[in-house]
Structure 1
Amino acid sequence: MTNNQDRLQKVIAQSGVTSRRKAEQLILDGKVKVNGKVVQTLGTKVSTDDKVEVNGVPLEKEASVYYLLFKPRGVISSVKDEKGRKVVTDLLGEEIEERIFPIGRLDYDTSGVILLTNDGEFANLLMHPKHKIDKVYVAKIKGIPSKTELNKLKKGIKSEQDILKAVSYNIISMDKKTNTTFLEITLHEGKNRHVRRMMEGLGYPVVKLKRERYGLLTADGLATGEYRALSPKEVKQMRNLALEIVK
């Protein structure tokens, strides 16, 4: 054993196999072995010398990778789709051999910034609601809402079993001739069709939607469908951003 040890669930998450939370459940369910023995104690520490198996498959430690993709409309935010539609990982080059997955999701008809990684710990850090990472959208909506109506976005719009809220909004422009409005909307949560359902609840359906910013990151310099690797500085900044917000 070396002195460089990490908790078992963290090691599993960082391998890209699954999220940290699901890794914890796999351990509790007896699906994880360390050096041939089933381990069901959360917090067990392992080193790089230990042989870890998940569901009978040896864990291969991949180097952590992080990418930003400018997702086009008409692409699924997943690694596979049962209907055979194009998914975000289809847009990445063949030189990327790691088992990467999207952090969160963007709706099929929504474009913009989405992050992909094989680092489950990093993904969980950014997605957890308590970390309150800003997700900034620009929406083109049908109609000219009043400020009184728009203020309801911050109070919450009831949709099915959810209360959908925006952290803030800004009116970019209104066009009475075309009867359309452009809004900038900031969210912390990311429920299914969050912005679209909020605006439908107000009676102003979304015509077009784009996520402009995720935390500190934008798609500036990228064409639709293009991607780039995050720099080590950007990865560190995103980690720090999440951790600072929690304090």
Structure 2
Amino acid sequence: MLAHLGYGSRSDLKKAVKNGLIEVNGIRVKDSGMQVDPEQDEITVSGEKIVYREFVYLLLNKPQGVVSATEDNRDRTVVDLLSEAYAPFDVFPVGRLDKDTEGLLLLTNDGKLAHNLLSPRKHVSKTYYAKVEGAVGENDKQAFEAGVELDDGYVTMPAQLRVLTCDIIVDPPRSEIELTIQEGKFHQVKRMFQAVGKRVVYLKRISMGPLQLDPALGLGEYRELTREELELLQGKPSHDSGPGVDDDLHK
């Protein structure tokens, strides 16, 4: 358990046991292979009480230039942004954002939750803010609501387009929009605008299902989900809006 939580290798922990640094329910451990119940037993290392967690859930404000992967031979990954404290949990990004896309990305080691959020049958909404080269208007809203045909012939599900600003004085015109989709095809937002003759020049994801990007997080910063956020993602009624573990760390 302690190795899984990152308190050292098995050999390190054997030395800690030998030096009397580990206690279970107030009694010094003599065998590093001792069986414990993390839910019932009180475990301390050098006097520090250990809180066991099987899963962690991190909300990251992904910056540009970082890839949504656990490892990459050329570029920094979103996992590289995390503290070493999370290394033992083997977290992975839930879905992906393009290398040049910013914004909300969930990282976890909870495979079941990740599957539910990514399953096409669940129709989890994802909302993006974008700056677009071109005058986005009512015709585009109607096209997106009907579904547009991408360059490979795929017709998208209906999407909700909201135009925030449209500046037709400049050349070329520029628009700011919010787009909500319920699928995640490769480069989908960019390709949808390409299908209506426009080009996305900046893209940021601002929500995924009930989870909103925290405005307090700068680019590259992250925090653990609050209990309320996690319960909303899991589809549970929320009774507690208190913070999760280490909410204010790792910013």
Q: Structure 1 length normalisation: TM-score?
A: 0.69
Give the deviation of 1:237 after TM superposition: 1.0
Correspondence 1:71 to 2:27: no
Distance, in Å, in 2 between the alignment partners of 1:181 and 1:127 is 29
> Which SS does the other structure have where 1:75 is aligned?
coil
Task: Give the residue type in structure 2 aligned to 1:95.
Answer: A
2:148 aligned partner: 157
Give the deviation of 1:239 after TM superposition: 1.0
Structure 1: runs of 5+ lacking an equivalent: 1-14, 16-47, 49-60, 242-247
The C-alpha deviation readout for 1:138-189, integer Å capped at 9, x for no partner, is: 1110011331233111212222142234521111011112310011100110
Which one has more relative contact order, counting CA pairs under 8 Å at least 6 apart? 1
1:19 aligned partner: none
2:72 aligned partner: 81
Task: Give the residue type in structure 1 aligned to 2:54.
Answer: A
1:232 aligned partner: 227
CA contact (8 A) 1:134 1:215 kept: yes
Which stretch of the first structure deviates more once superposed, 214-223 or 160-169? Answer: 160-169
Give the deviation of 1:91 after TM superposition: 0.8
Task: Give the residue type in structure 1 aligned to 2:145.
Answer: K
Instruction: Report the structure, 1 or 2, having the larger strand content.
Output: 1
Aligned length: 182
Tell me which stretches of 4 or more aligned residues in structure 1 moved more than 6 Å: none
CA contact (8 A) 1:165 1:198 kept: no
The C-alpha deviation readout for 1:41-96, integer Å capped at 9, x for no partner, is: xxxxxxx9xxxxxxxxxxxx9711100100011111111124x1111101111111
1:144 aligned partner: 135
Identical-pair percentage? 35
User: What are the within-5 Å matches in structure 2 for residues 120-199 of structure 1?
Assistant: 120-159=111-150, 160-178=152-170, 179-199=173-193
Distance, in Å, in 1 between the alignment partners of 2:100 and 2:226 is 28
Structure 2: runs of 5+ lacking an equivalent: 5-36, 38-51, 237-251
CA contact (8 A) 2:130 2:202 kept: yes
Distance, in Å, in 1 between the alignment partners of 2:140 and 2:126 is 22
CA contact (8 A) 1:166 1:186 kept: no
> Which SS does the other structure have where 1:125 is aligned?
helix
Which of 74, 79, 83 is the equivalent residue of 1:93?
83
Name the Cα RMSD after superposition.
1.9
Correspondence 1:210 to 2:204: yes
CA contact (8 A) 1:100 1:116 kept: yes
